[in-house]
Amino acid sequence: MRQSAKTALAGIVSALAVAIMFATTLIPFLTYALPAISGALLILIVIEVNRKWAFASYAAVSILSFLLLNDKEAALMYIAFFGYYPVIKSMLESRLPRVVEYLVKLLLFNVSVISATLLAVFVLKIPLEDVEERGPAVIPYLLLMANAMFLLYDYTLTQFVQLYLKKIQHRFRKLFR
């Protein structure tokens, strides 16, 4: 792929990711889903260019999201996990045995989400409504549900990559020759 095509692809994907992140202003209950979708777009850059370009796009989307979005929690979730995870996913899957791979993925997810949540609550002063309404006993259940959703997200990313490689990639590459 030519340098100009790489730049165009990274720019288009980054702009689309930022646009999706802006949708959190219109649809505030998708605070976690939209950053996950925005991050998934970076898989295209990983496959078609390389991880270095994908990390550059991640950085651009992270900075723009944090500076421009009203929903700082969504921006924080993108920065803390959903933006870089699709970029490093293939590295984790290619270098580790399956059980260790999932343990590392779950550890990475939990550390990232807990850190982002603590930062949101104590630095950005974003209240945790579920904890305020139901008390701190709800935290383990929320974390368990978050882990289940992460495993579903990971599986969905894998399926997206397979679909892209089998059905879409040859058409996509014609656009960026």
Torsion of CA 53, 6, 161, 157, to 10 degrees: 40
Q: CA-to-CA distance for 164 and 154, rounded, in angstroms? A: 15
Torsion of CA 82, 86, 88, 90, to 10 degrees: 150
Quote the pLDDT of residue 94. Answer: 84
The backbone torsions φ and ψ at residue 173, rounded to the nearest 5 degrees and listed phi first, read -65, -25
Q: CA-to-CA distance for 109 and 121, rounded, in angstroms? A: 18
pLDDT grade for 153, boundaries at 50, 70 and 90: very high
Residue 60, both tokens: 């651009």
pLDDT grade for 174, boundaries at 50, 70 and 90: confident
Mean per-residue pLDDT for 47-51?
A: 94
**What are 83-118's pLDDT values in tens digits?**
999 999 988 998 889 999 999 999 999 999 999 988
- Per the listing, tokens 């993925």 go with 105
Asked whether the beta carbons of 58 and 11 are under 8 A apart, the reply is no
| Global confidence as pTM | 0.90
Q: CA-to-CA distance for 116 and 131, rounded, in angstroms? A: 16
pLDDT grade for 131, boundaries at 50, 70 and 90: low
